[in-house]
Amino acid sequence: MYSVINAFVVSLITMGLVINIISMKSNIFYYEFEKQDEGILTSQEIDLKNNKNVEENIRYTLQYLFDNNEGHYSFIPEEVTITNILFINGSLEIEVSEDILNYGGTAREMSMVDQILATVFSINEVEEFSLFIEGNREVLNEGTSIKGYTRDEWEERMKTIEQN
């Protein structure tokens, strides 16, 4: 009897893990416009392909964000790719292609940064984030640097965004 109960418990645990693997999700953020020039940052849930490797899930989520052209408006320039990613103990560093610099204007830069930060910090495991641009650049066109940006800083920034 004990082995039957044991087998049943193992089956339930295994089923739970399979269900968990199948239902792993992440969020990407994009803009919806109700009126011209009044974008609202909204999210879309996406399915993750590999729940065992946080770094691969992060790569997949961010590349999905960069490639997203499913009728959503993104301030991220086209053709941006991830050239390097490092995730250690809650700290995420990514390096992206120089294509991320193909835009102009402070408002566009701030919206792009919000979009990237919202997506990154929607991943529970990320506590700190740095963005680097291939060619040893750390600063975007209008002067924004995302280096060592913390979840607490993002939460404070979100309060400001929500008030506007």
151 lies in some domain: yes
Cα 75 from Cα 54, distance rounded (Å): 26
6 lies in some domain: no
Residue 71 neighbours by CB distance under 10 Å: 7
3-class secondary-structure state, position 3: helix
pLDDT at 85: 94
106 lies in some domain: yes
Task: For residue range 6-53, list pLDDT tens digits in order.
Answer: 443 333 333 333 333 344 677 878 777 655 456 778 888 888 776 678
89 lies in some domain: yes
Q: Give how many domains the chain has, as a whole number.
A: 1
Task: For residue range 81-131, list pLDDT tens digits in order.
Answer: 999 999 999 999 999 999 999 998 998 999 999 999 999 999 889 999 999
Helix 151-163 and helix 106-121, axial crossing angle in degrees, nearest 10 = 130
- Asked whether the beta carbons of 25 and 47 are under 8 A apart, the reply is yes
111 lies in some domain: yes
Task: For residue range 68-87, list pLDDT tens digits in order.
Answer: 666 678 889 988 999 999 99
pLDDT at 53: 82
Cα 121 from Cα 151, distance rounded (Å): 6
Which residue is associated with the tokens 């053709």?
Answer: 79
Residue 46 host element (H or E): strand 38-47
The pTM of this model reads 0.78
Q: Please give the residue range of the domain that contains residue 152.
A: 24-163
- Cβ-in-10-Å burial (0-12, 13-18, 19+) of 117 comes to buried
11 lies in some domain: no
5 lies in some domain: no
Cα 114 from Cα 134, distance rounded (Å): 21
110 lies in some domain: yes
